[in-house]
Amino acid sequence: MVVNSINFWLFFAAVVVPYFLCFRGQRGQNLWLLLASYVFYGWADWKILPLLVGVTAVFYGLGLAIARNNESNPRRASQLTTLGVLLGLGILFYFKYFGFFVQEFTALFASLGVPCGERTLNIVMPIGISFFTFKLMGYVIEVHRQTAVPTRDAVQFSLFIAFFPTILSGPIDRAATFLPQLQRRRRYNESDVSEGLKRVLWGLFLKTCIADVIAPWTTVVFGNYAHHNATTILVAAPLYLIQLYTDFCGFSEMAIGVARIMGLRVVENFQRPFFAKNVAEYWRRWHMSLTTWITDYVFMPLNVAFRDWGLWGLYAATLLNLIAIGVWHGANWTYFWFGVYHGLLLCIVTGLDKRRKRFEKAHHLKDNELYAWSRRLLTFLCFTFGSVLFQAASMGDFLGTIARLGQGFGPLYSEEFSSLVIYALPATCLMFLREWVAEYRRDIHFMHSPNIIVRLVSIALLISFIIYAGQLEGNSFIYFQF
Amino acid sequence: MERIEIFEKLNEIFVDVLDLDEVELTDATTADDIEEWDSLSHVQLVVAIEKAFGVKFTALEIMKWKNVGELVDSIAQKL
Amino acid sequence: MPPRFSLPLKALAVLTLVLLIDQGVGFVSRNVIQGLDDKLSQIGSIQQALLHKRSDVLILGASCAKYHYNSQILADSLQMTVENTGVGGMKAEYSDLVLQSYLERCTPRCVVIDVYGQLDSGEGRLPRVRPFYGVNQPVTDYYDSETDWQQRLKLQSALYRYNGTLDLLLRHALNAPNRSHGFAEMAGELSMKDTVVVHHFLPDPAKERHLRHVVQLCRDHSVRLVFVLSPRREHNVDQEAWVSAFCREHNLQLINELHVPDYYTEERLFHDESHLNGRGAALFSKRVARKLRIEN
């Protein structure tokens, strides 16, 4: 059940009405929500449900054991934490990467003249696995660092892991911010429901009116890159980045909105990444729940471990950090090189940081709008190039696509392009306008206007626009495969 | 070394590493109070502190500090 | 102190506003679409085929139909009126709908269907007939009987029904008037030399059902039905075999131009792997007309 389907909303209505009306305390509410979450996950992938439940139980026990040992036996606590992390990584490795490694090794041996049986492992990746294993590993690390209190309440813990709005595609929550919310009964709160619905609406708008309208065209162009000229590829690349953003941000908004309706605050995932002035800032605004996870649990430890190697230690930590982010997306060399590419860009940004600050001070560029926008454009272009790599099915396809740029310009591939211009373009402008307002002022217009008539009319117009101009025969969400 | 002395030395280190004009650290000061103190500069601070005081911290200790007071305690323990 | 409106009340207000917008958009769209002039755009072709056109000879099919059957050449040769209702991306359901619509207005003497691709799975461009729900009876019946309750519920909304039409209407406005009875010519030449043969064909059951319905309709109205396989540089032999067997089973004339050497030796008759260009279409139309006359 995808969030943008009627089935999901029927399910949600069936869940949320008893959620508010039937329970006197948090225990009943949490149990109800947990059951709903397991039903939801089972609907998506019932064969993996036992794994989810089992792994949740194991980590529940680990959390309590680590806390017990933290003061009395720190070495034991460290060992248990390491065990938890290895278990999480092991599960992830098996389902996501094992098949790829076997494939690469047999290819390697074959090229060295050693024949290996052609075995293609058909390991089906459980949906959402990258997200809930990260929640589990984060939990034990936080408990070990004593930045989170482990819970004795198995229902609360299981709900934290399996929470249905976020289990399939994030955002990745932290125990420290999510668990406390489960300790109180959530009452029906009009402002939460109203805000939640607005977020769902905005997410739906981003996905159906921008991402799904652009998708058919970019899919055809990149899927068939050998037939397209440089003009088409150069137009498709930034469009693809916008598509990727609105697809994922739209989905995150819907997840956050659904949670908000139920009175639960989930971490944000995006903060207007196209307004970032350099690559580092972009990563702090894009898929924030993943980036902060990897920063806190991969980058920081590496950085600390390499601290005696000065700037080179920092570069190494940065590179490994971005490779981890890249490879999280899947078992493909394209994701690895995507990580390397961004790692190198970040090293450049870090290395030039002091020089840039001096330059800006000397030329009084701090409040210069033109300067800020040129930096944003440059950042956008860096990410556009990265996204061509990101979407390629293989390194061969990526290089082939780039090679097309040298084959000469020509007319733009205009098949189905008019619908992009007529629907996605105004929608993108609207999105950009709203983000610009939020970046420079506060988000107090249209849906959040103090004037009730403006609010209601804006919402009605947005709903109408979605139904009239949105690509409603939905395309599947890109991040479902992660 | 007295806590006061540790604080004085820390003030110098912070000014130097974070490029500040001046700073007055207290037990309750956290990274949120100083704009230039982010996760990146945190590690640079640690390196400078380790060098200045001639101590070595474990990774876990570094991650556990919640404010400057706890940092000072860690230093004092090692001296 | 301004009155605080409760959420259900606000939701009701929003719903009312959306309904008003829905009605407004529906009213404008319906009038615009029904009043479209005859042009070669997609929505123009669909509107003409479903609501207006009549002729002695009806050409059904997808893009191959549109680009191969030169209505003027056929009309001159057969001394009958010819309308080409081919629309790119359409399959057997659309052919069924067009034929039903036609039969409400007139009884053609001959129906020619360019059958390659009609049985492939997938919606193709069929959603483009959605604006005609409630306007054209066969389309309305199709959605009422062949889609689930969720789709029928959504179709009650004009905003949903006319989703995506703004783009089509703009393209219609920029299109040339239809002076060729639905036929469009492709310019350009393919420089590919070899013919590619592929295997494995599984007709979609729903599409097959619609094709049989076309056969049934023609039988019931005593209309001559002819199947045609246009020449292609890439074709599926199993599909060809299936079509031949189908025609034998239903005792239908099949004009198979797939292996006629005239198209393939002079390679400048193709626009791409599956479509002839203008000169190719002229040759094709003459040959088809001749074969139609012979079997008459």
**Cross-chain Cβ contact A456/C159 below 8 Å:** no
Q: Measure the N-to-C terminal CA separation of chain A; round to a whole number of Å.
A: 17
Nearest to C11 by CA among A53, A87, A190: A190
Superfamily covering domain B3-78 = ACP-like (1.10.1200.10)
Residue A364 lies in a domain: no
Whether A469 and C164 lie within 8 Å, measured CB to CB: yes
What does the pLDDT look like over C54-102, one tens digit per residue?
A: 999 999 999 999 999 999 999 999 999 999 999 999 999 999 999 999 9
Chains touching B, CB cut-off 8 Å, 3+ pairs: A
What ipTM did this prediction achieve? 0.86
Handedness of CA A397, A403, A408, A412 (dihedral sign): positive
Instruction: Note the pLDDT tens digit of each residue in A94-141.
Output: 988 888 888 888 888 888 877 666 666 667 778 888 899 999 999 999
Q: CB-hemisphere CA count at 13 Å for A292?
A: 16
* A226 domain residue, yes or no: no
Q: Distances from the Cα of C71 to the Cαs of B37, C37, C81, in angstroms?
A: 77, 19, 8
Interface residues on A facing C, Cβ-Cβ cutoff 8 A: 6, 190, 193-194, 418-419, 422-423, 452, 456-457, 459-461, 463-464, 467-470, 472-473
- Closest residue in B to A70 (Cα–Cα): B60
- Taking contacts as CB-CB distances below 8 angstroms, the residues of chain C near A468 are 25, 159-160, 162-163, 166
The string of pLDDT tens digits covering residues A239-268 is 999 999 999 999 999 999 999 999 999 999
In a domain, A31, yes or no: yes
Q: Do the domain assignments include residue A247?
A: no
Q: Is residue A457 situated within a structural domain?
A: no
Ordered DSSP codes for A204-239: HHIIIIIIHHHHHHHHHHHHTGGG--HHHHHHHHHH
CB of B63 less than 8 A from some CB of A: yes
Q: Is residue A129 part of a domain?
A: yes
Q: What is the SS3 assignment for C89-138?
A: CCCHHHHHHHHHHHHHHCCCCEEEEECCCCCCCCCCCHHHHHHHCCCCHH
Q: Which of C1, C10, C129, C273 would you mutate first to test chain A, the one with the most A CBs within 10 A?
A: C10
Choose among A193, A418, A470: nearest Cβ to C7: A193
Residue A180 has pLDDT above 70, yes or no: yes
Q: What residues of C are in contact with residue A452 (Cβ under 8 Å)?
A: 2, 5, 10
Among A146, A301, A308, whose Cβ lies nearest the Cβ of B59? A301
Q: What pLDDT score does C158 carry?
A: 95
The 10s digit of each residue's pLDDT in A298-354 is: 998 998 889 888 889 999 999 999 999 999 998 899 999 999 999 999 999 988 888
Name the residue among A190, A464, A472 with its Cβ closest to that of C21. A464
Whether C4 has a pLDDT exceeding 70, the answer reads no
Q: Above pLDDT 90, what percent of chain C?
A: 77
**pLDDT, tens digit, for every residue of A183-215?**
999 999 999 999 999 999 999 999 999 999 999
Chain B CB within 8 Å of residue A146 CB? yes
Contacts of A145 in chain B (CB under 8 A): 60, 63-64
Q: Look at residue C1 in the predicted model and tell me its pLDDT.
A: 41
Count the alpha carbons within 13 Å of A371 in the hemisphere toward its beta carbon: 10
Strand ranges of the sheet holding C57-60, from the earlier edge strand across to the other edge: C82-84, C57-60, C110-114, C224-229, C253-256
Pick the more confident residue, A422 or B35.
Answer: A422
Q: Which residues of A touch B60 (CB under 8 A)?
A: 74, 78, 144-145
| Cβ-based contacts under 8 A for chains A and B | 31
How many domains is chain A built from? Answer: 1
pLDDT band at C2 (very low <50, low <70, confident <90, very high): very low
Higher pLDDT, B34 or C279: C279
Any alpha helices (H) in chain C, and if so which ranges? Answer: 7-34, 42-47, 63-68, 71-78, 92-105, 137-146, 149-155, 158-161, 165-173, 205-220, 237-250, 261-265, 278-294
Task: Tell me which residue of A121, A341, B53, A130 sits closest to A333, measured CA to CA.
Answer: A341
Q: Which domain holds residue A148?
A: 6-187
Asked whether residue A313 is domain-assigned, the answer is no
Domain spans of chain B, in order of start: 3-78
Q: Are A300 and B39 a contacting pair at CB < 8 A?
A: yes
Structural domain contains residue A199 = no
pLDDT in tens, C133-150: 999 999 999 999 999 888
pLDDT at residue A218 is higher than 50:
yes
Fold (topology level) of C37-128+176-294: Rossmann fold (3.40.50)
